[in-house]
Amino acid sequence: MRGSSVTRAIELIGDRWSILVVRDAFQGVRRFEDFLARTGASRATLTRRLRSLETGGILRRVASDDPPGHREYRLTDMGRDLFPLSLVAWNWERRWAPRGAGIPAKLRHAGCGHDIQPRVVCGHCGGAVTLRELEHRRGPGRLPRVAPAAVRSWRRSAFTADTQHGSQAALTHIADIVGDAWTPLLVAAAFFGRRRFDEFQQELGIATNILAARLELLVAQRILGRRLYLSHPPRHEYRLTEKGLDLLHYAVVLNAWGDRWLAPPSGPAYQLVHRGCGHVVAPVVRCGHCADPLRPDAVSFARVRYRSR
């Protein structure tokens, strides 16, 4: 997956704190102190993440009228385009987060007035986006020979949903999994047939000690199941569980966002093609009741109204 749009997207927004900052920005948070209280990040960490998201084009700083002279952070068009990703993250977390995790139980769609069950469909043909309907192909872009330095130096946050200090718990369980830059790439590789340690290592160019630790994490989180396929010496395969397979829409939506905003002029190195229509997948998240595309200004999220910026 080196050089894929998923990799580029994870470099920009794939760590725990960036996920939580974007979560809060969609709920109308604008000020540093409010991000600090809700995420539980340290001041230094939050300062770095806000700066990175601003440099990457997700957030912009603007002058505040209240109080005058202060600065606040608002989502750009690029940042607002992450809204479908936040919806599929909520949908996954609602199903799989532990009880009492603070996940809003319902989304309401202003367009039809019904509670939402987000549906991910192909934007070209309207067909379902399932693993069986997807094909993984080489794209027009070049595949880098080695992983970028930023990727090779990725480290895992010590915080988890159990230890986080923020005032808001929503989406912290999924952040434990996709908020580490290597684990979503491992999950993506598993979606397309990688099962053994050497296959993951060759596909991702990941150090063996980091790979072993991340596989243990994904097994502990019940994203992957481990099965012995050779006894002497012992060797294991890693296969996606139902919980892991349910991350497909997160991976597909993130990849499409990366294709739109981060792919080089030559195009992405990999493409996801929908077998139903033969087009590169452009996923759309629709209301399960009225089938309209779900937009930030038409969705209520646990009594907090999203508003266009």
pLDDT digit string, tens, across residues 224-274? 999 998 888 888 999 999 999 999 999 999 999 999 999 888 888 888 999
Domain range for 88 is 5-305
Any idea which residue has 């600090």 for tokens?
36
pLDDT: which is higher, 54 or 297: 54
pLDDT digit string, tens, across residues 145-168? 544 444 444 456 656 666 667 667
Q: What is the pLDDT of residue 306?
A: 39
For residues 244 and 190, the answer to whether their CB atoms sit within 8 Å is: yes
CATH of the domain at 164: 1.10.10.10
d(CA 207, CA 222): 22
d(CA 244, CA 225): 9
Q: What's the pLDDT band for 137 if we cut at 50, 70, 90?
A: confident
- Closest to 285 (Cα-Cα) out of 166, 135, 118: 118
Q: Which two tokens stand for residue 129?
A: 């986006």
SS3 state of residue 188: helix
- Residue 304 pLDDT > 50, yes or no? no
Q: Which two tokens stand for residue 245?
A: 């397979």
pLDDT digit string, tens, across residues 60-69? 999 877 767 6
User: What average pLDDT does range 43-66 have in this prediction?
Assistant: 92
Give the gyration radius of the chain's Cα atoms.
19
Q: What is the pLDDT of residue 307?
A: 40
3-class secondary structure for 74-102?
A: EECHHHHCCHHHHHHHHHHHHHHCCCCCC
Name the domain count of the chain.
1
